[in-house]
Amino acid sequence: MERGIQISMDGRGRVFDNIFVERLWRSVKYEEVYLKEYGSVGEAIEGLRRYFEFYNGERLHQSVSYQTPAAVFRQGTNKAAVTTLN
């Protein structure tokens, strides 16, 4: 709170706060978990690690103009660096 950061736990913004998380976990379940039969917790962790690498680095997302989240992040980082340099 001393930095002026507030976490929305209820109220008007709550629905919108949860949309991203709900869509992400739906994708994880239907594209990874429900398709695999993990033999151990270690296999599940490794499968999820690979999935998130794919999700962020290779899978194109309609909501960001058919780019990957990693590409969008790099663009934002590059824009921020250019802005700070100017």
Q: What percent of the chain has pLDDT over 70?
A: 73
Question: In angstroms, rounded to a whole number, what is the distance separating the alpha carbons of residues 68 and 48?
Answer: 17
16-52 tens-digit pLDDT: 667 888 889 999 999 999 999 999 999 999 999 999 9
- Can you give the pLDDT at residue 18? 79
Question: In angstroms, rounded to a whole number, what is the distance separating the alpha carbons of residues 58 and 86?
Answer: 32
Average pLDDT, the chain: 83
